[in-house]
Amino acid sequence: IAHTPQDSAEVATSNLPAMPHRPRRLRRTEGLRRLVREHHLTTADLIYPVFVMAGEEQKEAIPSMPGCYRYTLDLLLEEVTAAYDLGIPGIALFPLISPDLKDNAGTESYNPKGLVPQAVRAIKQALPNLLVFTDVALDPYSSAGHDGIVENGEILNDQTVAVLVQQALCHAEAGADFVSPSDMMDGRVGAIRRALDAAGWINVGILTYSAKYASAYYGPFRDALDSAPQFGDKKTYQMDPANAQEALKEVDLDIAEGADIVMVKPALAYMDIIQRVKRHTTLPVAAYNVSGEYAMVKAAAQQGWIDERAVVMETLTSLKRAGADVILTYFAKDVASLLRR
């Protein structure tokens, strides 16, 4: 039915109160909605986490992360080239380390000929403008599946930091643009910054997992890397999900120690933390839309219970609204393709 002034007159005679504001007026058409839209998800916001394994011409499906694979380096190059061609600015690299290379001190983590340095070199050679973020932590290399050296069931802090420093230097030497400590040891950002500077790597940045919670949402990632803790849990180093103020303490320390970008992880259950951190700092804030968040969407979509694309766009846009400047997500390529249309 056409809306004529006649209709309006009838509305005016109904017993609705006077309404100087009708918010629906700004939602009337797609053009209008675009005009007044407050937050925008763009491909430029995305970092694509990828898994690399040794070998050639193979990719292995990760059952709990449908659509994600562990790639041998040759195939990984194709995958990250596709991401780069879609306009994704960066990738985060995670290695699957064979069990015989794992030990308590994570020695393989700073082998200059190891999987990660090899991959970084190859990627930077092929795609010099794709940003490479390397994960700094011992868990993929640790026989105990922990992010630090274990002694009598405890995770040693300062001894672990010494290894993390070696790992960060090894990644910088290979050509990483950023190192990303995800281990939650105390003081590691400062120790890494000092070592990078002393070695002349003043332009290698630190994207630090500042507020990283001891979360059940990391399950599928640990399947991907075969890195689940062999005993206990990660609660003596990762944060208690019940804490919010403590996130700001961690952020303050990381900033004082020289972090360039601070991250909150996981993302969805911690949107309040993202917002608090964003209000608290002038640094760019990253959010990690983790493996469990990805798996839940995939599982429900496979059942036909939700519209995957719509849910992904809604979720990631909501992370921007919460205050995330940068989003790590396994959906990065899907989102970039959708945004391109």
Q: What is the contact surface with ligand PBG in residues (CB under 6 A)?
A: 135, 137, 139, 147, 182-183, 218, 221-222, 234, 290-291
Q: How far is the CB of 56 from ligand PBG (least distance, A)?
A: 26
Q: How far is the CB of 171 from ligand PBG (least distance, A)?
A: 14
State the binding site for Mg(2+).
Answer: 250
Closer to ligand PBG by Cβ: residue 27 or 184:
184
In sequence order, which residues have a C-beta less than 8 Å from that of residue 108 and are 6 or more positions away? 97, 101, 102, 114, 141
In sequence order, which residues have a C-beta less than 8 Å from that of residue 167 and are 6 or more positions away? 106, 109, 110, 136, 138, 179
Q: How far is the CB of 286 from ligand PBG (least distance, A)?
A: 12
Helices 291-302, 308-322: inter-axial angle, 10-degree rounding? 150
Give yes or no for a contact between 210 and 254, defined as CB atoms under 8 angstroms apart: yes
Closer to ligand PBG by Cβ: residue 108 or 147:
147
Give alpha helix (H) positions in the chain.
5-13, 30-35, 73-85, 115-126, 157-174, 188-198, 219-225, 245-257, 271-280, 291-302, 308-322, 332-340
Closer to ligand PBG by Cβ: residue 69 or 221:
221
Closer to ligand PBG by Cβ: residue 299 or 304:
299
DSSP of 278-307: HHH-SS-EEEEE-HHHHHHHHHHHHTTSS-
Q: How far is the CB of 7 from ligand PBG (least distance, A)?
A: 53
Q: Which residues are catalytic?
A: 212, 265
Task: Give dist(CA 119, CA 124) in Å, integer.
Answer: 8
State the binding site.
Answer: 250
Question: CA-CA-CA-CA torsion for 166, 60, 288, 233, nearest 10 degrees?
Answer: -70
